[in-house]
Structure 1
Amino acid sequence: MKLSLSLQQDFQAPELVLKRAYIKKVIETALRYIDVNQDCEIGIACVDNDESHKLNLEYRQKDKPTNVLSFPSDIPEEVLPMLDAWPMGDLVICIPVVLQEAIDQSKTPIEHFTHMLVHGVLHLMGYDHETSEADAEEMEALEIKILAKLGFDNPYTEQD
């Protein structure tokens, strides 16, 4: 599997230095874990509160910024065989929200960013945590296992 990554960093923070190679490694680990073997394309935008707020209001009717928004590709399945790589979609990650949540949850910025990246990738793959308790448990279990492969603790346990 080959991953093509488009990375747009409109908002950067000194406490969270993001390297393209690291982001690719996280995404590739998640995709391999759920048995994606085809070449893929993904877009990631790291944004500020204002941009996240605007997009969250427009697409989810929620009047606040959020940690990660997922925009799965809506290319018809019959077109996919004609493409060199499967366009998974785009993720919009709000860095200020991720940083504040990391503080609130007693996590490092990179630990929480990595969790949000895995969470968003799973959303692009069709996983959902809002439709049923069973779906939420399945998605959380995958996140825990993928993050463990990356060397991180269970993000759903309370930190001291």
Structure 2
Amino acid sequence: MKTTASTNLDLTIQRAIRASDLPSRQQLVRWIRAVGNGPAVLTLRFVDAEEGRATNASWRGRDYATNVLSFAYETEPVLMGDLMLCWPVVRKEAAEQGKSVEEHTAHLVVHGLLHLCGHDHEEGEAQAEEMESIEREVMARLGYADPYADEH
């Protein structure tokens, strides 16, 4: 499952769960391209809580399902990586935060892609603020609200 060669985006979408509200390929490409237009080879995998928990425990030593995990392989000359979104967690967080599932998913894709590009929010306050600033800018360009508006 790939986009046309002219976009320089090789996108594989894996749906390891059945859900009628998963984002469309068109939405995912739009969110990805809002972060950057450089060449990329990406896999986005939508999983259940069991797989999300097992992967988080295996790779990060955290025994719970988290919203998004990023696995970067290359950043230059082509961005290569995987994003795993745990769909039950995404849905739950959207409801808790009073956001649509679409808007919350867009934010998590943007957030995960920034990790693939080398950004981090766990290495210090300045880096966290820089990453959040980029996320706010990208989300605004996409027509969504500030994803951190109620957190600060």
Alignment TM-score, normalising by the size of structure 2: 0.90
Which of 14, 27, 37 aligns to 1:22? It is 27
Instruction: Give the whole-Å Cα distance in 1 for the aligned partners of 2:11 and 2:148.
Output: 28
1:17 to partner: Cα distance: 3.3
* 2:10 aligned with 1:4: yes
SS at match of 1:73: strand
Instruction: Give the whole-Å Cα distance in 2 for the aligned partners of 1:67 and 1:17.
Output: 14
Supply the AA of the counterpart residue of 2:113: V
Cα deviation digits, residues 14-40 of structure 1 (max 9, x gap): 3x23111110111011114xxxx3x21
Distance 1:12 1:144, change over 3 A: farther
1:23-102 matches, within 5 Å, as 23-32=28-37, 37=38, 39-74=39-74, 80=77, 86-102=78-94
* 2:124 aligned with 1:119: no
1:144 to partner: Cα distance: 0.4
* 2:145 aligned with 1:140: no
For structure 2, the residue ranges without an aligned partner over 5 or more in a row are 1-6
Instruction: Give the whole-Å Cα distance in 1 for the aligned partners of 2:42 and 2:137.
Output: 22
Give every structure 1 segment of 4 or more consecutive aligned residues whose post-TM-superposition deviation is greater than 4 Å. Answer: none
SS at match of 1:158: coil
Supply the AA of the counterpart residue of 2:47: V
Aligned residues: 145
Alignment TM-score, normalising by the size of structure 1: 0.85
Contact kept, 8 Å, 1:128 with 1:135, in 2: the verdict is yes
1:87 to partner: Cα distance: 4.4
Supply the AA of the counterpart residue of 2:128: A
SS at match of 2:119: coil
Distance 1:87 1:145, change over 3 A: closer
Supply the AA of the counterpart residue of 2:55: L
Supply the AA of the counterpart residue of 2:123: T
For structure 1, the residue ranges without an aligned partner over 5 or more in a row are 81-85
